[in-house]
Amino acid sequence: MKKLFILILIFLFSTASFFAQEENAPESERDYVDEQNMTVSEVEELIQSQSAINRLDFVFGIEPLLSINTHTKNSEGKFVSAPSPISIPFYIGLSIPNYTALSFQPTLRFFSSYNLVYKELVLPAEVENRTGFTFNFLLNLPVVLKINYKNKVSWSIFAGLAGLFRFAIPPINISESQSGYTGSVKSDVEYMNQWFYKNVRFLYLSTGIDCMFYYGKTKFGPEFSVFFPISSIIDKSLDSLMLGAGIKVEF
C-alpha cells in the first residue's frame, strides 16, 4: 500500500513538472525571438522548419517506362518475344527534407507486364504468347541535389539504388496445365519467379534529372530517369534497362 502511494505521488509530481515546462516553453520561445530581433517572415520560416510535417513533400508522378528487350528475334529472324514494351506506372513517394539542397526521395512505382520463357531467359510477351502475368514494384532510393532559383524554379539531379520486385502468376483464362516452354504454364511461372532474382536481376542503379516550376507550395515539371540493371554486367546484355520520361508533382 505504501509503495502504491509513493508511485502515485511520483506520477503526480512528474505530471505537474511536465505541464509547468509546457507553460514556460512559449515564454522561452518568445524570448529567443525577441533576442534575435526576428522579422515576421523569419519567425514563420522558423516555425515551418520546426514542424515535422512541413519538413517533407509528398511526391506523385506519371512516368512511362521503356524496358529494353534485345532478344526480340532468334538467329533465324523469327519473332520469339515482344518488342521493347512501354509501361505507364504511377508512383508515389516523399522528399525528405524539402528545404535543403540535398535530400532523400524514396518513391514506389507499380506496373504489370506479360512474360514468357525462351531458352534460359524471361522476356516480354505479346498477349497471345504470354505464359505469365507479372506484378512489378519498382522501389527507387535516390539522393537528390537541388538547385533552387528564387523559389520559382528548381533543377535536380538524382542518383541512387533501385529494386525491381516482380511476382508472376498464371494469366487469367489460361490453365496452369497448358503447355509452356518449360513444360507447362505452371512450371513457366515457377521458373520466372526464380529467374527474376538470380544474378541480382532485381538490383538497379538509378539516375535522372527534373525541372520543377513553383506554384505556391506545389511544384511540378518534367522528369527523366534511367534505371540500369546491375545484372547486365553478368548477363552481358542490356535487357531490362529502363528509360523513363514523365510528369512529377511535389506538394
> Given this model, what pLDDT does residue 4 score?
43
Q: Are residues 62 and 39 in the same domain?
A: no
Residues 45 and 84 in one domain: no
Q: Do 15 and 65 fall within a single domain?
A: no
Average pLDDT, the chain: 85
Q: Provide the pLDDT for residue 16.
A: 43
* pLDDT over threshold 70, residue 116: yes
Residue with cell 531458352: 119
If DSSP codes are grouped into helix, strand and coil, which group holds residue 57?
strand
- 5 has pLDDT over 50: no
Q: Are residues 105 and 63 in the same domain?
A: yes
Do 180 and 78 fall into the same domain? yes
pLDDT of residue 234: 83
Quick one: 92 and 162 in the same domain? yes
C-alpha to C-alpha distance for 29 and 34, rounded to whole angstroms = 9
**Range 43-66 burial, b when 16+ CB lie within 10 A, else e:** eeeeeeeeeeeebbbebbbebebe
pTM given for the model: 0.79
Position 11 scores a pLDDT of 44
Per-residue pLDDT, 52: 63
* pLDDT tops 80 at residue 32: no
What percent of the chain has a predicted confidence (pLDDT) above 90?
69
Give how many domains the chain has, as a whole number.
2
97 and 69, same domain (yes or no): yes
Which of 80 and 41 is assigned the larger pLDDT? 80
Q: Are residues 5 and 28 in the same domain?
A: yes
Q: What is the pLDDT of residue 75?
A: 82
Same domain, 39 and 93: no
DSSP H/E element including 142: strand 132-149
In this prediction, residue 39 carries a pLDDT of 67
Q: Which residue has the higher pLDDT, 5 or 218?
A: 218
Higher per-residue confidence, 38 vs 177: 177
pLDDT tens digits for range 213-249: 999 889 999 999 999 999 988 888 889 999 999 999 9
Q: What is the percent of the chain where pLDDT is above 70? A: 79
pLDDT at 92: 97
Domain span holding position 111: 55-250
How far apart are alpha carbons 97 and 7 in whole angstroms? 42
Residues 240 and 133 in one domain: yes
Residue 163 CA: distances (Å) to CA of 57, 68, 105, 156, 246: 22, 17, 14, 21, 20
In a shared domain, residues 1 and 79? no
| Contact between 81 and 72 (Cβ < 8 Å) | yes
pLDDT of residue 108: 98
CB 144 within 8 A of CB 156: yes
Least confident of 29-38, 133-142, 184-193: 29-38
Of residues 6 and 99, more confidently modeled: 99
Residues 134, 158: one domain? Answer: yes
Query: The CATH number of the domain where 120 resides is what?
Result: 2.40.160.20
